[in-house]
Structure 1
């Protein structure tokens, strides 16, 4: 008897980090549940990123993908935060998405469910129109999900700007957090960005449940709290990290250089797929790396006043020209600087890597945990400050440098934090703790692990719903 195929769709936003995470989740889903077929739907701005196109070439046969007609970047509002531009792109793509969903629902193997990115949750209303089960795939931590679910209440409880709130903010199931460590979108309550986030958070009630890229051994307690409050299932299905092909620029150069370094002697420095620093901060970081005396591999991008400048734009400039005069010559034996991109998971898994200076994007954070690499947290935007709090105060697997009143980490502070992580007693303790966390994370992904069981429960819940529907 032929096995019935269950067809679901997922929709993501035009940001590679979100796209890579949801696709990796889909690969894991169809690996364990062969009777599922997934169609990935991507909103795009101008054209799909090359990183996404390359990444999608490694998909198994039971995952398809659709790029919706691209939104012209010139039609998006100018001089506004990235989150607003992405929001406008998603809104402009809704008619195309509606058409794509209608087509999939009327196919020989019609859809039964939609999984949406939290920043594309307007699509949940369209899913309701087609009588589909609907879920949110949440690429960040359960701590961030807890904030988003609690935000409408927090909005009523706190009247001032969160950064001016005198007391620590208490989010259900989470560490107390200072207002200035909340996501950047929440720092100006009069802004359109804040209004949009608040509106999105209220729309979360449309979802039947949440799939979160985390695992119960580090965030199970807060999920129990959330389920009691929200009365909706939350499935911790991570750590979902990138395993497929990606742009592997500079791979040979990086691997060759790492091979001649001592074990755990190199600090890897990278600010993710879109992160950038100001020119002043670039100089301080360069001098800090140099004066630390520690080996480093730095993925370097041209400076920019915007911390997330590369998500929707590219620069044709050679970024290395923006390094301080003489830096490359002086550090020739100490470090390697590569422009723009590097194969991150392969670098982090190399025996020579002993630390990771990271922007605390959740994808990078999970990669570092799974590969057992101690961290220095350097949050730039989005929810990355919250992740830094979780890593330093909660899990205690990272150090965080101090920034001055102009929000600049100075070279002396940078050098001291690097030396402490790589050589100090506190760094040694962090290494031991993250090695233990690595084991726990890998155990969660095993066939009998907590995250695999959560994924199976998600599938069982869908199948039970469909059975009762019939």
Structure 2
């Protein structure tokens, strides 16, 4: 009996990288009878969120955790640099796992994300074709320098050098999977597929790939019971993703802005930090976030809003009838989740490629309002109240809602049986199986 085709999947550290790749693996298993093994690098003990996701994978999808990497010799380095170094410091372990998979399975491909390009060399040694899963937008709109990812803005920073290093290695892959779909970025995807942008391997738009699991602990979550009692489309959901944190001053301005907007809100709050990506690797709040809110805020907004610490079952919230808007950090996973559920946005980017996504959403697709930052680098309470009211009640908000409804329909069509993304994935898997 011939062995089932097997795919090795290498996510770089961070929940935002792991989740879309686990969803891709589920598609491989359920629709194409492909088995897969995750090779998971780590910086320390795995966060609870990661344990839950890996522990709930269906049959045919396995995972191997690599020995943790230490950064005691490099305190205080940027998250982006830490991700790349975690991978280079894990390469000998990766080689051992890939060798063993190549010997024990019918290994047809290695799928890795943008930070994992150094693993391509090991796969080549073993004659296994590598594919890069680009977990963000193709982004073909004009972007001002200030809206490029932070590491690209400082050429002296190691993160900039790593960015260039990985970008130059894209051409070594056999193909690039894009977590986007043709109707979302038609011109960009056409240009990428027509090779107008130079030396790129074939592009496969296979999105939107979003989290499909029932969030563990979601069904009885207090916020969903609270949402059940709110009017249809009345609640603004606020979350800065699994890794985003605000400064103390910004947290206060956001609280006061929400209060004076008089709009209903559900706010996933984390304790503040000077670094916007402070909870990137842990995906939880470091201390009790309630103690940092303005004095009396929770009492004054009791009927108006609900504040929950660290985490909410986002998919269930976005698909709830009471949700009328989403104030988001513009991480690509959250962006696609809001498109799939047709929820209009307030774009509030923090780090990584989020500012570029915010430009695409506000200026390109026109499905988001973007608050202006003042001279001190803060979004002030009056600006917050104005934008929140504008989205939830204004004419502009209504127009955004209509455009987002169109994208929701296009997203559903892309992943339907005859849809463009389904065909694209089918083409790729057929290549592997043959």
TM-score range with shorter-chain normalisation?
A: over 0.9
Flag structure 2 segments of 5+ consecutive residues without an equivalent. Answer: none
Q: Which residue of 1 aligns with 2:69?
A: 71
Q: Which position in structure 2 is the counterpart of 1:303? A: 272
Aligned to 2:391: 421
Matches within 5 A, 1:422-461: 422-461=392-431
User: CA distance change for structure 1 residues 376 and 315 in 2, over 3 Å: closer, same or farther?
Assistant: closer
1:373 aligns with 2:339: no
Task: Give the secondary structure class of the aligned counterpart of 1:101.
Answer: helix
Q: 1:286 to 1:76 in 2, by over 3 A?
A: farther
CA contact (8 A) 1:76 1:89 kept: no
Q: 1:310 to 1:321 in 2, by over 3 A?
A: same
| Cα deviation 1:225-263 (Å, max 9, x = unaligned) | 123133521001110000114453795210110011000
| Structure 1 equivalent of residue 260 of structure 2 | 291
Aligned partner of 1:106 among 103, 106, 122: 103
CA RMSD of aligned residues (A): 1.4
Q: Report Cα offsets for 1:296-323 as digits up to 9, x if no partner.
A: 0000000000000001355552111000
Note closer, same or farther for the CA distance 1:23–1:346 as it changes in structure 2 (3 Å cut).
same
Say whether the 8 Å CA contact 1:372–1:435 is kept in structure 2. Answer: yes
Instruction: Show the counterpart of 1:265.
Output: 234
**Aligned mates of 1:416, 1:33 — CA distance in 2:** 49
1:184-204 C-alpha deviation (Å, 9 max, x unpaired): 110101211111110111111
User: 3-state SS of the aligned residue for 1:216?
Assistant: coil
d(CA) in 1 for partners of 2:154, 2:176: 27
Mapped partners of 2:170, 2:187: distance in 1: 21
Residue 333 of structure 1 aligns to a residue in which SS? Answer: coil
Q: Quote the Cα distance in structure 2 between the aligned partners of 1:393 and 1:3.
A: 52
1:117 Cα deviation after fit: 1.3
Partner Cα distance (1:139, 1:316) in 2: 27
Which residue is equivalent to 1:89? Answer: 86
Q: Which stretch shifts more, 208-217 or 83-92? A: 83-92
Distance 2:21 2:56 in 1: 14
Q: Which of 359, 364, 369 is 2:329 aligned to?
A: 359
Q: CA deviation at 1:406?
A: 2.0
**Out of 117, 123, 136, which is 1:140 matched to?**
136
1:29 pairs with 2:64: no
Q: Cα–Cα, structure 1 residues 248 and 185, in superposed 2: closer, same or farther, change >3 Å?
A: farther
d(CA) in 2 for partners of 1:93, 1:116: 14
Name the CA distance, whole Å, in 2 between partners of 1:186 and 1:91: 20
1:149 matched residue in structure 2: none
Deviation beyond 6 Å, 4+ runs, structure 1? none
Tell me, yes or no, if the aligned pair for 1:183 and 1:382 is still in contact at 8 Å. yes
- Scaled by the length of structure 2, the TM-score of the pair is 0.96
- TM-superposed CA distance for 1:365, in Å, is 0.2
CA contact (8 A) 1:58 1:245 kept: no
1:56 Cα offset (Å): 2.2
Q: Is the 8 A contact 1:266 1:354 kept in 2?
A: yes
Q: Secondary structure at the match of 2:169?
A: helix
Cα deviation for residue 421 of structure 1 reads: 0.2
Deviation track 1:114-157 (CA, whole Å, cap 9, x = no partner) reads: 111111111011111111111001111112xxxxxxxxxxxxxx
Distance (Å, rounded) in 2 between the aligned partners of 1:57 and 1:301: 25
CA separation in 2, counterparts of 1:251 and 1:179?
44
CA-CA distance at 1:3 after TM superposition: 5.9
Deviation at 1:4, TM superposition (A): 4.4
Match of 1:255 among 221, 224, 232: 224
2:241–2:331 CA contact under 8 A, matched in 1: yes
| Residues 238 and 445 in structure 1, CA contact (< 8 A), matched pair in contact too | yes
Shift of 1:222: 1.0
Deviations 1:361-412 (CA, angstroms, capped at 9, x unpaired)? 0000000000010000000000001111111111111100000122210000
Candidates 160, 180, 201, aligned match of 2:146: 180
Distance 1:245 1:256 in 2: 16
Instruction: State the SS of the aligned residue for 1:59.
Output: coil
